Amino acid sequence: QSINHCCRPGSPDVKYTEEHIEARYSYHTATVSRCRGTYTVTPRTTRFTFRTQRSVPKLGVMLVGWGGNNGTTVTAAVLANKLGLSWRTRTGVKTANYFGSLLQASTVCLGMGPDGEVNVPFRDLLPMVHPNDIVFDGWDISSLDLGRAMERAQVLDWALQEQLRPHMEQLKPRPSIYIPEFIAANQEQRADNVLMGSKAEQVEQIRKDIRDFKKKSGVDKVIVLWTANTERMCDIVPGVNDTAATLLATIQLAMQQGAFIGGDDFKSGQTKVKSVLVDFLVSAGLKPTSIVSYNHLGNNDGRNLSAPQQFRSKEISKSNVVDDMVRSNNVLYAPGEKPDHCVVIKYVPNVGDSKRAMDEYTSEIMMGGTNTIVMHNTCEDSLLASPIILDLVILTELCQRITFCTEEDPHFQTFHSVLSVLSYLCKAPLVPEGAPVINSFFRQRTCIENLMRACLGLPPQNHMQLEHEMQ
Ligand code: NAI
Ligand code: DG6
């Protein structure tokens, strides 16, 4: 086991049993009412008990689109870390790492120690799966083994690929369900690994694949994650997804089975910056009036997105990200007012996986002034997306081991099937009905951090630093 779970709170509110970490936690919120222009704010306290199962399962992850740039890169990165690989590039020796992973490569402040702030890796807060221990499998409509698919992706340095190839070429994607009208026509030539038969037979084969993987690999739990091509939006079908009620019914099976579903599209680069920058501008009292985002990229994702219907799906997931921040400030924005927001994506084969993103943020500042921020970002897209894939599955697995109850309802329950805590990792978060969608980067990150602290009976991180304010 690669787990290093090093945080143990010294609090009477926390109990370690053989099976669980059990923490009593006071959750403080406020409710607001308004009468004749006056707000009345009432603090509320709900007493929770959180139970986190301590034993970490052997985790299997099945990727839909395993042979793509993300699928091959994340599999290769985990292998390289597990094998402790290093390789030479023209700028020196590089060593495998998990940079870009919230859980593996970022830290949280536990509190003050004798020498000041004590920061620990996020992964050490609670017992969780280490990426090195994940077993991968999956499906792809392209039959290339993962060694050749990694080469096709052109993401990793050649010297690393040479070391990984003997391992990667053993891995072969399972045939998948291919409905051509959902992805761009330009993908047809790689679709040589597809399931035949009726839709019901194909679904049954997918279920068999999951059981087969579980049995052969000996994993305790399987998480399925979509990293296949961006699909066009679904048609509105009466009785299936035409009203709020029918739409909700399509996720009922997940609720019945206690399975989680997350949001859409990995929030990896340009959109992540947007969820920071607009938060900064609006929180600082500056008024973004226009946001224009250009991208060009030359990988297969870009090729697929060169078709209008697939681009439209991506445009939607990239565009909604500022809504909550804009809506939160009624000093700057009238009801319904929004900044102009334009997203452009172009396919330029020559740049491969090295995506270029150019953004222009124009804001109104004091006394009619204008502030324009322009940004140019170049990066290997899949090296940003792969750590997010790892965080998504590890966080989801952890959430399956957490249950909680309140004083009013002492029956332990799991998180809602729509797992909104994954919002940080998704361009288009999904939340339970009636819950607010949060896109702001720091609020999303703080939510995960404080939730884990609650599982240890620790107060939320409040950054007040009152202990340093006293004479
Ligand atoms: P990719 O095009 O390299 O990989 C997608 C893979 O899915 C391909 O190998 C394709 O053959 C396969 N595929 C298509 N339909 C399938 C089906 N029905 N069943 C099984 N496999 C199927 O794309 P990439 O770069 O790996 O991205 C994957 C997804 O993640 C895309 O939706 C992309 O928009 C999204 N994304 C990618 C990021 C990146 O950095 N590469 C960042 C954020 C999101
Ligand atoms: C061009 O925008 C292609 C997309 O697939 C993105 O590269 C990907 O969704 C990442 O988007 P972002 O906005 O997080 O950089």
Q: What angle do CA 271, 276, 280 make, to 5 degrees?
A: 140
Q: Which atom of ligand 2 is nearest to the CA of 318?
A: 13
Find out whether the beta carbon of 446 lies less than 6 Å from any atom of ligand 1: no
Q: Over pLDDT 90: what percentage of the chain?
A: 76
Secondary structure percentages of the chain, helix, strand, coil, to 5: 35, 30, 35
Find out whether the beta carbon of 68 lies less than 6 Å from any atom of ligand 1: yes
Predicted confidence (pLDDT) at residue 175 exceeds the cutoff of 60: yes
pLDDT of residue 252: 78
CA distance 141 to 174: 8
Lowest mean pLDDT among 46-55, 118-127, 402-411, 458-467: 458-467
Q: Is 51 helix (H, G, I), strand (E, B) or coil?
A: strand
Q: Which atom of ligand 1 is nearest to the CA of 267?
A: 43
- What 8-state DSSP symbol labels residue 338? -
| pLDDT tens by residue, 48-95 | 999 999 999 999 999 999 999 999 999 999 999 999 999 999 999 999
More confident site: 7 or 443: 443
CA distance 78 to 71: 11
Predicted confidence (pLDDT) at residue 4 exceeds the cutoff of 60: no
| pLDDT tens by residue, 285-326 | 999 999 999 999 999 999 999 998 988 888 887 888 888 888
Please list, in sequence order, all residues whose beta carbon lies within 8 angstroms of the beta carbon of residue 58, skipping any fewer than 6 positions away.
133, 135, 218, 219, 220, 221
Q: Say if residues 354 and 381 touch (Cβ distance below 8 Å).
A: yes
pLDDT of residue 3: 40
Q: How confident is the model at residue 430 (pLDDT cuts 50, 70, 90)?
A: confident
Find out whether the beta carbon of 142 lies less than 6 Å from any atom of ligand 1: yes
Tell me how far the alpha carbon of residue 67 lies from the centroid of ligand 1, in angstroms: 8
CA distance 26 to 29: 10
Tell me how far the alpha carbon of residue 194 lies from the centroid of ligand 2, in angstroms: 27
The per-residue DSSP string of 209-237 comes to HHHHHHHHH--SEEEEEE-SPPPPPPPP-
User: Residue 174 CA: which ligand is closest?
Assistant: 1
Predicted confidence (pLDDT) at residue 447 exceeds the cutoff of 80: yes
Can you give the pTM of this predicted structure?
Answer: 0.94
Tell me how far the alpha carbon of residue 305 lies from the centroid of ligand 1, in angstroms: 10
Tell me how far the alpha carbon of residue 352 lies from the centroid of ligand 2, in angstroms: 13
Tell me how far the alpha carbon of residue 345 lies from the centroid of ligand 2, in angstroms: 9
Q: Is 292 helix (H, G, I), strand (E, B) or coil?
A: strand
Measured from CB, residues less than 6 Å from any atom of ligand 2 are 265, 267-272, 295, 297, 301, 305, 314, 318, 345, 355, 357, 381
Q: What are the catalytic residues?
A: 265, 314, 355, 427
CA distance 74 to 437: 28
Nearest to 388 by CA among 157, 7, 53, 74: 74
Q: What is the amino acid identity at position 457?
A: G
CB atoms within 10 A of CB 45: 9
Predicted confidence (pLDDT) at residue 2 exceeds the cutoff of 50: no
Residue-averaged pLDDT of the chain: 92
27-32 long-range Cβ contacts below 8 angstroms, 24+ apart:
27/454
Sheet holding 287-297, edge to edge: 340-347, 287-297, 354-364, 370-380
Predicted confidence (pLDDT) at residue 111 exceeds the cutoff of 60: yes
Find out whether the beta carbon of 66 lies less than 6 Å from any atom of ligand 1: no
| pLDDT tens by residue, 343-394 | 999 999 999 999 999 999 999 999 999 999 999 999 999 999 999 999 999 9
Average pLDDT over residues 382-407: 96
Q: How confident is the model at residue 466 (pLDDT cuts 50, 70, 90)?
A: confident
What value does the CA radius of gyration of the chain take, rounded to a whole number of Å?
Answer: 23
User: Residue 268 CA: which ligand is closest?
Assistant: 2
Whose tokens are 């009593």? That residue is: 24
CA distance 322 to 338: 9
Tokens of 83: 């094998």
Average pLDDT over residues 240-265: 83
Q: Which atom of ligand 2 is nearest to the CA of 230?
A: 5
pLDDT of residue 463: 86
Q: Is 26 helix (H, G, I), strand (E, B) or coil?
A: strand
Whose tokens are 């890796």? That residue is: 121
Q: For residue 35, what are the β-bridge partners?
A: 38
Q: How confident is the model at residue 5 (pLDDT cuts 50, 70, 90)?
A: low
Q: Over pLDDT 70: what percentage of the chain?
A: 98
